[in-house]
Amino acid sequence: MFRLAMASMRSRLVAVGLVIVALSASMALLLTVERIQQATKSGFNQSLSGVDLVLGPRGSGLELVLYTVFHLGKPTNNITTATVLDIADDPMVEWSVPVALGDNHRGFRVISTTDEYFDRIKFGGDRPLVFAQGTTFSNLNEVVIGSEVAEALGYTLDTAIFVTHGSEMLGELHDDFSFNVTGILAPTGTPTDRAVFVSLEGYELIHLGWKNGSKAVSLENLDIGTIPKERLFPKTVTAVYLGLRSKLGLFKFTRKVNDYPEEAISAVIPGVALAELWSMVGTVDSVFQLLNWLIIGISIIGMVTMTMTGLDGRTREMTILRALGVSPPRLACLVLLETIIISLTAVLSAVVLVRLLTLGISDLLGQWAGIRIQLTWLAANELMTLMIIVLTGLGASLIPAGMVYKRSLHRGFAN
Amino acid sequence: MLIFFSLNSIVNAVASGYKATEEDFVRWENAWDSLIPPGTYDFVPKDFHFELLFNPTFQSQLDEAGKVIDPSLEGQSVEIAGFMVPIEVRGEKVSQFLLVPEAGQCIHVPPPPLNQTLLVDTTTAPTPLRDLYQPIIVSGRLSVGSQSFDIADSGYSLVASEITTLNLGEDMIPVVPGADGDR
């Protein structure tokens, strides 16, 4: 039976081939889009961990989380370090890590912070940041870079770099002061891999000689050993990551921050900001899902159409088979078997296609948001989805199978 | 055949959830009320003049009343419905969250008092991240402990044994009798 079906299909190879391509492409589309959605959500959700609140200038909490944690968008305001120190003194605060953003190094964000960043900021649930090489910065002219920065630009320990002012690659270079790489972080699959870390004081230093956004005084001949570090403590920073002593105090503390009289600041719980993000994109997700299923429906219709119209051209084939003693039910099964072969071939090629597509898209995603997604062959629920599609196709091909059955009952040897 | 597809998408899209009854709502409301020790709000007079609302002493009394917790609830099993405020998210699952009686409180509305907040721990069995406005039912054992060095901030925590999504159908959304217009 199987060989019969294969031989029959081989004679109609072009049509069958096209149907397989359409079916497998639509299945691949469905699975890939679903994977990307899930992986993106997962990737975002586990980029930051261990931080109870992100405190920044008053405004959208979601925006704050997006530009501090994910380097998406630009900060528009700063908060004063006087306020930061005052908040850090609050008995409910266990630790605080300020961050200042604004510069970039060849497209990678420069984050100026304290070295406590590497102890406090975790990812992926509770995994700490680990140094693959070297250690944290201690002098003014030292930087720590993420794994992707090192890989993409070929940096090793002791490489000297300059940073550019602003968040675009095209900007004025702080070329009067070079930084040494003292540490390279191990890969995390989060935006940290694409970041360059400097000390608050080092960042402040390179902006000292600047007026109105461009260099007025050069630091080239400055002996940095002569500068006391305390003088370089910045007056403003972009945001602060906070850890509280008790999670139950979160609401009370947030209200305190929002009511802070000295400055317009607000605090956001990272998990809440992300939940807001997902609820916003949720409707778009549903629309994509619907479109995907429609495309699959169209492909299956294509398959059934091909089979049905093909039946007219196969009357001779059917007649010969009847003459050889193949009963009408078996003829109908032949048609169903063809559908199964087509569907399963489409499934196999879809799995391969999905793997290739996710590979390509994950690269793009990594570059855009610094998220790395896991690549797998096939998950259990994906297999179920594919089987539902195969069964639906089978169900749909009962129509042409039924047609074959009826015709071969009535027509007999008529041509 | 397109019926197959509509069925499929419906199956995938429909939020399965527990359908609550009136008794359930009463039970959950009582659960939230039970977290407040009896007599905490006795200082509020039955009929009061509106000036009282502007009285700073009264306001601070209200604040303090919100912090009072009942140590006798230690170890009690409770089933309660509320909204999730995620704190620790791993991938698409939440391993720690705060349960509050009303949605949206974390964003721009005054926060719930300490005795109406539950710190839920789901580290052993992380639960899917839900929308901030999606009600859920949480069952577990209450623990009344000091969560911090500052005794004034001790509160209720719960190790969750079961978390179910609550399906609020259209007819469950309360309508004020006699009100017209859209719900």
Closest approach of chain A CAs to the CA of B117, in angstroms?
A: 7
The pLDDT of B16-28, averaged and rounded, is: 80
- Give pLDDT tens digits for A126-155: 889 999 999 998 888 899 999 999 999 999
For an interface test with A, the pick among B62, B153, B156, B157 (most A C-beta atoms closer than 10 Å) comes out as: B153
Position B109 scores a pLDDT of: 62
pLDDT, tens digit (0-9, with 9 covering 90-100), for A23-54: 888 888 888 888 888 888 888 888 888 899 99
Q: Which residues on chain B are in Cβ contact (under 8 Å) with A301?
A: 1
Judged by a CB distance cut-off of 8 A, whether residue B117 touches chain A is yes
Residues of B in contact with A36 (CB under 8 A): none
Supply A159's token pair. 């490489």
- Asked if the structure places residue B4 within a domain, the reply is no
Question: Could you tell me if A161 lies within 8 Å of chain B, comparing CB atoms?
Answer: no
Contact A271 B86 (CB under 8 A): yes
How many C-beta atoms surround the C-beta of residue A10 within 10 A?
9
B74 close contact with A: CB closer than 8 A: no
Question: Is B2 a member of any domain?
Answer: no
Which pLDDT score, from 0 to 100, does residue A132 have? 92
Rounded distance, CA A344 to CA A350, Å? 10
Instruction: Summarize pLDDT for A89-126 with one digit per residue, the tens.
Output: 998 899 999 999 988 888 888 999 998 999 999 988 78
Q: Is the pLDDT of residue A257 over 80?
A: yes
Closest Cβ–Cβ partner in B106, B110, B112 for A269: B106
pLDDT at B174 > cutoff 60: no
Residue B179 falls within a domain, yes or no? no
pLDDT more than 90, % of chain A? 22
A104 DSSP β-pair partners: A109, A164
Neighbours of B66 (CB within 10 A): 19
CB atoms under 10 Å from CB of B4, counted, come to: 18
CA distance A238 to A67: 10
Range name among A19-23, A213-217, A292-296 with the lowest pLDDT average: A213-217
Task: List, for residues A367-404, the tens digit of each pLDDT value.
Answer: 777 777 667 777 777 888 888 888 888 888 888 888 88
pLDDT at position B91 over 60: yes
Q: CB A289 to CB B13 under 8 A? A: yes
Phi then psi dihedrals of residue A30, to 5 deg: -55, -50
B92 neighbourhood in chain A, CB within 8 Å: 38, 41-42, 45
Distances (CA, A) of B77 to B74, B139, B143, B161, B183: 9, 7, 9, 10, 35
pLDDT digits (tens, 9 = 90+) for B53-72: 888 888 888 888 888 888 88
Residue B180, domain member (yes or no): no
Chain-centroid distance of CA B18 in Å reads 16
Mean pLDDT computed over B24-51 = 85
Look at residue A233 in the predicted model and tell me its pLDDT: 87
Number of domains in chain B: 1
Residue B130 lies in a domain: yes
pLDDT digits (tens, 9 = 90+) for B102-148: 876 655 566 788 888 899 988 888 888 888 888 899 999 888 875 44
Q: How many CB pairs under 8 A join A and B?
A: 129
Residue at B177 is within a domain: no
CATH number, domain at B94? 2.40.50.870
Give residue A401's pLDDT.
84
> Does residue B152 surpass a pLDDT of 50?
no
CB of B143 within 8 Å of a chain A CB? The answer is: no
Domain that holds residue B161: 19-37+47-172
Q: Mean pLDDT across chain B, nearest whole number?
A: 77
Q: What is the pLDDT of residue B13?
A: 46
* B22 closest CA partner among B182, B154, B177, B174: B174
Identify all chain A residues contacting B105, using CB atoms and an 8 Å cutoff. Answer: 251
Kindly state whether residue B64 falls inside one of the protein's structural domains: yes
B89: chain A residues, CB-CB within 8 Å:
45-46, 49, 270-271, 274
Q: Is the pLDDT of residue B6 over 70?
A: no
Is it the case that residue A80 has pLDDT exceeding 90?
A: yes
- Could you tell me if residue B89 is inside a domain? yes
Closest partner residue to A279 (CB to CB) among B5, B131, B150 is: B131
What is the pLDDT at residue B149? 44
Please report where in the chains the tokens 């693959």 appear, as a residue: A132
Give yes or no for a contact between B88 and B122, defined as CB atoms under 8 angstroms apart: no
Q: What does each C-alpha distance from A239 to A57, A69, A111, A177, B18 come to in angstroms? A: 7, 10, 11, 25, 41
Cα(A316)–Cα(A217) distance, integer angstroms: 91
Verify whether the Cβ–Cβ distance A124 to B90 is below 8 Å.
yes
First to last CA, chain A: 24
Angle at A147 between CA A144 and CA A150, to 5 degrees: 75
| 8-state DSSP, B76 | -
The residue in chain A having the minimum alpha-carbon distance to the alpha carbon of residue B104 is: A272
Q: Which of A315, A345, A310 is nearest to A27 (CA)?
A: A345
ipTM attached to this prediction: 0.75
Quick one: average pLDDT of A73-95? Answer: 90
Look at A275 and B132 and tell me if their CB atoms are within 8 Å. Answer: yes
> Quick check: B183 pLDDT over 50?
no
pLDDT of B165 > 50? The answer is yes
Give the whole-angstrom CA distance, residue A52 versus residue A250. Answer: 8
